[in-house]
Amino acid sequence: MEGKKKRLVTTLEKEMKEAAKKSEFEKAAETRNKIFALNHIRDIALMSKDFDAEQSTVIGHPSLVPQVEAYDISNISGKQAVGSMVVFSGKNPDKSQYRKFKIKSVEGPDDVAMMREVLARRIGNDWPKPDLVLLDGGRGHLNMAKELFEALGFDVLLVAVAKGPTRKKLDLRVSDANQRINANPRIAKMLEDENFLKHIMDEAHRFAITYHRKRRGKEMLE
């Protein structure tokens, strides 16, 4: 079985590279997810008691390991503004895919406009397409991103995440995609897991703050 798995992974890696060369990025992302699944079957089995029951129906399906991107903005009154993108494969961070953005087109403290620049630049790059995008923000961020994604043909489930009125519960605002959530139980479980949502948004915030402090310190030395 181990030998067959290695041969299958090698074949899939070739397919992924070929799809990327042809700019078939969605196909390449799906193939990447299959490779991840094959390489982590043993780990997933140990973590999930019901894995064996699910394996026959989900093995090799791209939704086995949903790809999630989370975004945050950091600035002080609009100065030294930066944005962050963190990427999780399932509930595990994939730091090789993290990205940071120096805000170039926005002056003053306009968090929504800064987030728009970050998302537009992200879509303009040939990076693997995620299954879910999480934004640090509320209704304004969600509406902006939804309009941008539709204009650029970036069809991805979109959720804005903010601290609730009591700051004890997260306030989720989801783009009109309930059917898509229901069709993907793994994404639905992620959105129900407040600890995971808090973890990934805290990671996006940490990454943005780290870059902001580095940029601020560098400018103070100039």
Q: How long is the chain?
A: 222
Are residues 155 and 46 part of one domain? no
Q: Is the pTM for the entire model greater than 0.85?
A: no
Are residues 133 and 28 part of one domain? no
Q: Domain ends where: 64, 96, 117?
A: 64
Are residues 207 and 150 part of one domain? yes
Structure-token match 């975004």, residue found: 71
Are residues 84 and 60 part of one domain? no
Are residues 198 and 101 part of one domain? yes
Are residues 92 and 31 part of one domain? no
Domain extent at residue 80: 67-221
What does the pLDDT read at residue 61?
43
What does the pLDDT read at residue 98?
97
Whichever domain contains 145, its CATH number is 3.30.420.340
Are residues 74 and 53 part of one domain? no
Q: Domain ends where: 29, 48, 64?
A: 64
Are residues 58 and 85 part of one domain? no
Please tell me the total count of domains within the chain.
2
Are residues 159 and 93 part of one domain? yes
Burial of 85 (0-12, 13-18, 19+ CB in 10 A): buried
For residue 89, give Cα distances in angstroms to 15, 120, 183, 194: 20, 22, 19, 17
Per-residue pLDDT of the chain (222 residues; tens, 9 = 90+): 556 667 787 888 888 888 777 767 777 778 887 777 767 665 544 444 444 444 433 433 444 688 999 999 998 877 889 999 999 999 899 999 999 999 998 888 899 999 999 999 999 999 999 999 999 999 999 999 999 999 999 989 999 999 765 556 788 888 765 556 666 788 888 888 999 999 999 999 999 999 988 887 766 544
For residue 98, give Cα distances in angstroms to 38, 61, 83, 183, 207: 23, 24, 11, 28, 9
Are residues 89 and 199 part of one domain? yes
Are residues 194 and 166 part of one domain? yes
Are residues 120 and 79 part of one domain? yes
Q: Which two tokens stand for residue 133?
A: 């995008």
